[in-house]
Copies of this chain bind each other. A is one copy, B any other.
Amino acid sequence: METAIDAVRAFNRFFTRHVGAMDARFLGTDTNLAEARLLFEIARREPVAAASLQTILGIDRGYMSRMVARFEARGWIVRKAAARDDRSRPITLTKTGRTLAEDIDQRQRATVSQSVGSLSEMEQNDLVRSLTMARLLLDPTAEDGFTLRTARVGEVSLVASRQSIL
């Protein structure tokens, strides 16, 4: 148990630096990590209400409102009331926004692929397994096609429960 706590904490420290480095990569571009993440979530869920983005990203209402306004001003998104309900105006990407989102997506892939590219295929497999397993163990709400199944003594194996993306 103590060991587990230490391992988690060592990892926390490492990963905080890791994320900081990722964020720094956005310096000089016209988005930062938070905005990229928001754009990403919009892209994968559009049309989507600001409120659900708030809960997904854990962002304050006021702050979200301003970010969304900024995105709108830059022409990345539009907001259209759903028929018959004017309380919320779900967000959708414009052509420009979609292009940008794809572009950022590409650049993120490239960045990650740099840190992963130096690993052998075998190591990459282990990395995927490790990260996915850790995530599922730590996040009780995770639900993305995998389950953990106890298969062998002393080991928990990772099993794709629907069609695998692994």
Question: Which range contains the number of A residues in contact with the other chain?
Answer: 35 or more
Please tell me how many copies of the chain the complex holds: 2
Q: Across the interface, which residues of B come within 8 angstroms of A115, CB to CB?
A: 8, 138
A108 within 8 A of B: yes
A to B CB contacts below 8 Å, 21 in the list? A1-B117, A4-B116, A5-B112, A5-B113, A8-B112, A8-B131, A9-B112, A11-B131, A11-B135, A15-B15, A15-B19, A15-B135, A17-B57, A18-B138, A18-B139, A21-B58, A118-B140, A125-B155, A127-B137, A130-B133, A131-B134
Chain A residues close to B by CB (< 8 Å)? 1, 3-22, 37, 57-58, 108-109, 112-113, 115-120, 122-135, 137-140, 142, 144, 148, 150, 153-156, 165-166
